[in-house]
Amino acid sequence: MRIGIDGLHLFGPYSGVQNALARMLAAYAAEFPGDENVLYAPSDFAGPPDPAQQGLAVRKLWFPGRWRTVRTIWRNFRLQPRCYKDKCELLHGPTYALPSMLSLPSVLTVHDLIALSHPQFATPGSARVQKRMLPRSVKVARRVLVPTEAVKREVEQRLDVKPGRIDVVPWGVGEPFGFVHIPKRLEEARERWKLPKRYILYVGTIEPKKNIDGLIMSFFAAKMNKKLPHALVIAGRMGWGMEKLERLIREHNAREYILFTGYVPEEALPLLYTMADLCVLNSHIEGFGMPLLEAFACGCPAVIPDDPALVEVAGGAARVYTRSAEKPYQPLREMLEDLLMGGEAERKDLRRKGAERAKQFTWARTAQLTRESYEKALA
């Protein structure tokens, strides 16, 4: 099988969707060495996946990934002809979009519908493009891939797609994520990232849908109420719409116990997870929640809101709090106090459950389910 892959988003520091695509491609090559993926990537693509990897042919284009308008035009008018020229049997659009006019058999991955259901949590450009592109792309795709049953239900209802055309293909977790047992490496990481002795960890892009301001306020309330000895470590690159965070921290005189590390390379994240007392996701909405699996694999207990996708991925291995519109900071605050002030036994139990849950999500399984979808599309 020869598959054309739209890799136009593989540029710059990778976030969840880019990492998922890179990991899936590497696993696919390992699982199905007889197939070949032809990856159409921007000029500033530098891997991963490794361009020299067996079973992967990289076609670098003339424009950088940050040129959104050029990306869109090239996808719509040049991607399919290039696939035909490269003798591809199938086209996979792994980041929400397919060419508007399409005759080649195709598969589309929809990671979430946040740009449609909650446009305030997407950049104005993304919300505008996806509102126009997603319904059209879903219509021309033979199979639609989603990471969770929660997203599948949304796609069925909001985009009017029959369940028989949708395949749930969860993301995986693997190397480099795992508990780190080497004290020297941990101490080097503590010094490198200036980590406090005890801390709560958030990992991910800092953007409105992640509800970082709510996390800060809940942590601040718990810190003041119970004199927690912990700091809050926020690891990730600064996204859009977060200008108010600096003012929020300054107004609460909280700078000494809230640390922004900036972007942390993937190979360093297991060190941060291993040393954390808790990993907290406080998102307004998610389609999957990769940091949750990463925390599980590294033996870090996790706390999440009652978001359907996060609860599904957690599978009972994380502590879930119910959000409250009347008292938005209280549920998470109370849970932090409960788990960090004398909750060692429960944190130990969550570590065990999380490690077992993580074993159920592998990139090999992601690759296998993806290929099954390819076969269905070609049939």
Which structure tokens are listed for 108? 């589309």
Tokens found for residue 104: 């080649």
- Residue 259 is predicted with a pLDDT of 94
Question: Taking Cα atoms as reference points, which of 329, 328, 338 lies closest to residue 301?
Answer: 338
Tokens standing for residue 231: 């700091």
d(CA 303, CA 321): 8
Nearest Cα neighbor of 170 from 1, 373, 3, 34 is: 373
- Token readout for 330 is 């209280």
Question: From the centroid of its chain, how far is CA 186?
Answer: 25
d(CA 284, CA 2): 39
Q: What's the CA angle centered on 237, arms 235 and 242, to 5 degrees?
A: 100
Q: Return d(Cα 27, Cα 19) in angstroms, integer.
A: 12
pLDDT of residue 196: 94
Residue 191 has a CB neighbour count (10 Å cut-off) of: 9
Identify the CA nearest to 180 among candidates 13, 325, 294.
Answer: 294
Q: How far apart are the first and last CA of the chain?
A: 13
- Looking at 3.40.50.1100, 3.40.50.2000, 3.20.20.70, 3.30.2310.20, the CATH number of the domain 183-358 comes to 3.40.50.2000
Instruction: Quick: pLDDT tens for 272-283.
Output: 999 999 999 999
Write the single-letter amino acid at 42: P
CATH class, range 2-172+362-378: alpha beta
Domain boundaries defined on the chain: 2-172+362-378, 183-358
Nearest to 119 by CA among 135, 109, 131, 133: 131
SS3 185: helix
Q: Where are the beta strands (DSSP E) in 220-301?
A: 231-235, 258-262, 278-280
Q: For residue 21, give both structure tokens.
A: 């695509």
Q: In what order do the strands lie in the sheet with 199-203?
A: 258-262, 231-235, 199-203, 278-280, 302-305, 319-321
Give the tens place of pLDDT for each residue, 114-127: 999 999 998 888 88
Q: Answer whether 2-172+362-378 and 183-358 agree in fold.
A: yes
Check residue 286 and give left, alpha or beta (phi > 0: left; psi -120 to 50: alpha). beta
Report the distance separating Cα 59 and Cα 269, nearest Å.
30
pLDDT for the residue numbered 248:
87
pLDDT tens readout for residues 273-313:
999 999 999 999 999 999 999 999 999 999 999 999 999 99
Q: What residues contact 190, with CB distance under 8 A and at least 6 apart? A: 275
Contacts of 375 (CB under 8 A, 6+ apart): none
Low-confidence ranges of the chain (pLDDT < 50): none
